[in-house]
Structure 1
Amino acid sequence: MHRVLLTYADAVSTYFSWREADSADVRTARLSPAHIDALRDSFPRTLPDIQPGESTAAALHRTFHDGAFRSPEDTWTYFSQLGALLIPQELSAMLRGPGRSQLLIRPSPRLAQVPWAVLPTQPAGRLLGELADVVLGVPESLNALRGEPTDGECDLMVIDPRIPGQPPTGPLGSVLGRPTDTDPLAALLRPETYPPATTWPELARTRMTAPEFLAASARARSLLFVGHVSAAGEETASAETSTLHLAEPLSAGDLLHAGWRAPRRVGLIGCASGSDLRYPEPFGLSTAAAACGAETVISSLWTLPTEAGLPAGSHPLRELILATDRALHAPEPARELLDWQLGKARAWFAAGAQADNPAWWAAPVVHRAGADLGD
């Protein structure tokens, strides 16, 4: 596979470089402070992350009615502006060479929420994920400390955990609503699913505790978590306090200190579960999974809206969950997820149905760990 490395670093300006993995020929460029400030200011206007002093309802209204995700035309303009700033034509040409390409990106904290794979490239406007398998690299400091993954036989499903003291409709209540036998997510049921279940209501709304989670991980080949995630506050320098909410909270630091052995493939579907790289010390839930053995981690760059208020039969969050599950079991996880994202992008730009809004399909990203990335 043809591998290309793209690395960004923040100083007063943001500098970036790219090279082919087997080459010492490095090309460099710079983003001015004005461009970076404008780019960073665009995130709180566009993404569904709740801003200080903002209610959940206000954040959703801003996302779907005021910002770049309000229409296909606005989305294309915004993504094109990001692509023109961040993806040099010379790099795009490099990816268009013969054979299949992988683009490993190491973004700086200022660029950690960029949806790289769906950015249009110049000059033809093809999306970056059409040119290459786009993955985010895990920091080298964590790659050097990686433990061995588990290679069990079960697919661990931690779905919509019940949090003691939280009503189903409360802030830490159900993210999927009341489970029914006809839920599309019943497709997750198979002989390898753990905990074992024969109906969707038996699997959903788990009461799994942290010790049960750690023990089950040790016998799993994959993990799919769907539920509440609390990202670290922006006032801290580290994402170590980013937390999965099971029957009790379990932070990235807790996972590391508990000696968690992660399955080889991990999906973390929760709000900003993949926001680790926003911090100067980028150790959060996705990077904790990598440090504890996972080779592939799929997570979300920003807050994921629920499906409340959408027309009956619209299931964008469930589609994302099922796409993540398919990717976790595909021969090439990144390509599997990218193909789904590209299909959703084509649907959004063609018809603009709210169920195809990029607030869902542009959020997931693949983190790839290990020593086989051509460094």
Structure 2
Amino acid sequence: MLRHGNRRPGLAWPLRSHRPLSAKDLLLGTLPLRADGEPGARIWPAPTRVALIGCESGGDLRFAESFGLATAMLHNGAGLVTATRWVLPTSFAFHRLAQLPESVRPLSEAVIAVDTAHEDEDPVHRLDRWRAEGRIEHSPLLWAAMTSIVV
């Protein structure tokens, strides 16, 4: 709702000078804010394929009545949503804990792999790389967190 003088409509509380866009906004749009409001799917339709690669971006899906970004994307028209089920280790963590050189960027590579998979007809075969090479940057620590929901 309109709060604290912030002129942008939304259901999240303003933070400093802006109001974050929330999953609730994506789902409900402006329906709870005014009589002539529009549903979120009409205001923010989702593309066919959506990747939400961030710490626990798909955490809402573990509950029977989920209400989060992944659910909002499905509700707003996405046919495929890839999200992560747990907190992801950063590339810095791989550098610090596994002594990988800074030129190796496991998290960036995982994000690029998801993007590539969303653009391609064939899935990414990271398990084969892990089994063949056994290298930490190909480990399930990152890619096993990814979940794809297809409607």
Distance 1:248 1:271, change over 3 A: farther
Q: Would you identify which runs of 4 or more consecutive aligned residues in structure 1 move more than 3 Å?
A: none
Mapped pair 1:319 → 2:103: no
> Unaligned regions of 5+ residues in structure 2, if any?
1-7, 13-17, 30-39
Distance 1:304 1:255, change over 3 A: same
Distance 1:316 1:263, change over 3 A: same
Residue by residue, what CA displacement relative to the aligned partner does 1:78-106 show, whole Å, maximum 9, x if unpaired?
xxxxxxxxxxxxxxxxxxxxxxxxxxxxx
| TM-score of the superposed pair, with normalisation by structure 2 | 0.68
* Cα deviation, residue 255, structure 1: 0.9
> Identity over the aligned pairs, expressed in percent?
42
Q: In structure 2, what is the equivalent of residue 252 of structure 1?
A: 23
CA distance in 2, matches of 1:248, 1:354: 39
Tell me if the contact between 1:344 and 1:361 (Cα under 8 Å) persists in the aligned partners: no
1:145-156 correspondence runs (5 A): none
Which of 264, 282, 285 lines up with 2:48 in the alignment?
Answer: 264
Q: In structure 1, what is the equivalent of residue 61 of structure 2?
A: 277
Q: In structure 2, what is the equivalent of residue 361 of structure 1?
A: 143
Tell me if the contact between 2:127 and 2:140 (Cα under 8 Å) persists in the aligned partners: no
CA distance in 1, matches of 2:71, 2:112: 22
Q: In structure 2, what is the equivalent of residue 294 of structure 1?
A: 78
> Unaligned regions of 5+ residues in structure 1, if any?
1-209, 212-240, 242-246, 370-375
Q: In structure 1, what is the equivalent of residue 118 of structure 2?
A: 328
| TM-score of the superposed pair, with normalisation by structure 1 | 0.29
Tell me if the contact between 2:61 and 2:70 (Cα under 8 Å) persists in the aligned partners: no
1:87-106 correspondence runs (5 A): none
* Cα deviation, residue 272, structure 1: 0.6
Residue by residue, what CA displacement relative to the aligned partner does 1:173-231 show, whole Å, maximum 9, x if unpaired?
xxxxxxxxxxxxxxxxxxxxxxxxxxxxxxxxxxxxx99xxxxxxxxxxxxxxxxxxxx
- Aligned pair count? 118
Residue by residue, what CA displacement relative to the aligned partner does 1:107-157 show, whole Å, maximum 9, x if unpaired?
xxxxxxxxxxxxxxxxxxxxxxxxxxxxxxxxxxxxxxxxxxxxxxxxxxx
RMSD of aligned alpha carbons: 2.4
More strand by share: 1
Structure with higher Rg: it is 1
Residue by residue, what CA displacement relative to the aligned partner does 1:26-50 show, whole Å, maximum 9, x if unpaired?
xxxxxxxxxxxxxxxxxxxxxxxxx
